[in-house]
Amino acid sequence: MRLFPTKEQETKLAKHFGCIRFVYNHFLDNRVKFYLSAKEKQLAKKSLNYYDDAAELTKLKKQPETEWLSEVNSQSLQHALKHLDGAFNRFYRKQAKFPRFKKKNLKNSFRIPQFVRLENNKIYFPKFKEGIKMDNHRPVEGEVEFATITMNAAGQYHACITVEKFIEKLEPASKVVGIDLGVKELAVCSDGTRFPNIKPFRSLEQRIRVRQKELARSKKDSKGRQKSRLKLARLYNKISNVRNDHLHKVSHQIVSENQTIILEDLNVKGMMANRKLSKSIWDVSLSELVRQISYKAEWYGRKVLFIDRWFPSSKTCHHCGYINESLTLKDREWTCPRCERKLDRDYNASQNILVQGLNMKNMSVGTTESAECLGVSSVAKAIDNRLARKPNRL
């Protein structure tokens, strides 16, 4: 949700961003120093933990040179310590790299762990009792658990609000669907439903290219450079908003109409060569769509299956199982040389994905029939062959 703080509130928000960054960097530095000296002196205690940091933070707030820390929400500062502690724990468990210092202007954010209230298009939280105006076009239902305030490169403020919400599972649906995700069309379903990609990007892409050139030509550290960077950031923002709205609609429809959704592993699609800019946008779109389908499926009690990434879904004729090795990316339609049927590339792929998924889970009830009429025998043969090679995969 977009926030519209007053000038005064902007200053206060800047203080929050700054203090969070200071606390994070200060305690990161502290931990590194402590570790080095403990190692040198061969102390038993080698590292600091959250409680050490929290005690130190209380001291800092009382010292004259850092007492400005008490001007910001204390729970947000504590959360920064927890965040740092988590980063270290992930590093100790070898799940992440060594925590890095937070740079200014890179990402400005802070968490409000408690006491967030939304009312009359305003967000209220500690140190902002007067409330910050917000654009609340999607009503928030449920109890607010916590919120994160961010400022992006375009200088816009947003609140990401996490609510505790009870989601009612949907009535079970009977349909199983295979979906081919793509660049030409976003999603082509085995039941014939097709979801187009949205088009406003062509014009936006052109504007982005103009801005990128402008940015590249501008002098370093000049006012003009800052301006072009801002404009570019706004354009990217616009794209992601339009795109997300569309993806939400598509994922919602897919999840509400189908009980089991079979998708292809996206890594294969990622290898598709495309123009640079569009590629990055579409890569994000496809993985975002999969992410939305997956979490919504979980919400509503649906099932998502992913088929093996090396399955040649586009190249295999779903009628007879012939594999067309000469099929190129440009071929939107092809005629199977063996059974002479005309095939729509994406629809054919969705049929194969469906059959592959059905076989994978061996879902016998009610689906064998549909699998058979889709020409499953030939595909099943291909699967059997692969099973022989990799018995533990399916």
- 205-226 per-residue burial string, b: 16 or more CB within 10 A, e: under 16: beebeebeebbeebeeeeeebe
Q: Minimum distance from CB of 335 to Zn ion (Å)?
A: 9
Cβ closest to Zn ion, residue 9 vs residue 352? 352
Closest CA relative to residue 374, chosen from 344, 393, 348, 392 = 348
Tokens of 321: 């199982």
Q: Minimum distance from CB of 326 to Zn ion (Å)?
A: 14
Cβ closest to Zn ion, residue 213 vs residue 338? 338
Binding Zn ion (rule: CB under 5 A), the pick from 336, 353, 355, 374 is 336
Say how far apart CA 146 and CA 114 lie, in whole Å.
Answer: 6
Decide if 298 is catalytic: no
* Cα within 13 Å of Cα(181), Cβ side: 29
SS3 138: coil
Which listed range, 200-208, 214-222, 267-275, 335-343, lies at the site for Zn ion (CB under 5 A)? 335-343
381 forms part of the interface with Zn ion (CB under 5 A): no
- Tell me if 246 sits within 8 A of 195, measured CB to CB: no
Decide if 346 is catalytic: yes
Helix (H) or strand (E) holding 84: helix 74-92
Cβ closest to Zn ion, residue 81 vs residue 317? 317
Binding Zn ion (rule: CB under 5 A), the pick from 165, 291, 332, 338 is 338
Q: Minimum distance from CB of 305 to Zn ion (Å)?
A: 25
Q: Minimum distance from CB of 258 to Zn ion (Å)?
A: 26
Site map 158..197 versus Zn ion, x via CB under 5 A = ----------------------------------------
Which listed range, 45-53, 97-105, 283-291, 332-340, lies at the site for Zn ion (CB under 5 A)? 332-340
Among candidate residues 52, 346, 369, 372, the one labeled active-site is 346
Decide if 221 is catalytic: no
Count the Cβ atoms, other than its own, within 10 Å of residue 201: 18
Cβ closest to Zn ion, residue 25 vs residue 316? 316
- 139-171 per-residue burial string, b: 16 or more CB within 10 A, e: under 16: eeeeebebbbbebebeeebbbebeeeeeeeeee
Which strands make up the sheet holding 2-4, listed edge to edge?
A: 108-112, 143-151, 157-164, 2-4, 128-135, 122-125, 117-119
Residues numbered 50 to 109 that lie near Zn ion (CB under 5 A) are none
Say how far apart CA 237 and CA 97 lie, in whole Å.
Answer: 29
Q: Minimum distance from CB of 360 to Zn ion (Å)?
A: 22
Cβ closest to Zn ion, residue 339 vs residue 360? 339
Binding Zn ion (rule: CB under 5 A), the pick from 173, 339, 363, 382 is 339
Phi and psi (nearest 5°) for 51?
A: -70, -35
Longest CA–CA span in the chain (Å) reads: 84
Cβ closest to Zn ion, residue 258 vs residue 324? 324
52: exposed, middle or buried (Cβ count in 10 Å: 0-12, 13-18, 19+):
middle
Q: Minimum distance from CB of 199 to Zn ion (Å)?
A: 33
Among candidate residues 67, 141, 264, 331, the one labeled active-site is 264
Q: Minimum distance from CB of 353 to Zn ion (Å)?
A: 17
Say how far apart CA 246 and CA 266 lie, in whole Å.
Answer: 19
Count the Cβ atoms, other than its own, within 10 Å of residue 17: 20
Residues that contact Zn ion, how many (by CB under 5 A): 7
Site map 300..329 versus Zn ion, x via CB under 5 A = -----------------x-xx-x-------
Cβ closest to Zn ion, residue 164 vs residue 325? 325
Which listed range, 202-210, 246-254, 265-273, 338-346, lies at the site for Zn ion (CB under 5 A)? 338-346
Closest CA relative to residue 122, chosen from 135, 114, 133 = 133
Q: Give me the active site residues, please.
A: 180, 264, 346
Residues forming the site for Zn ion (CB under 5 A): 317, 319-320, 322, 336, 338-339
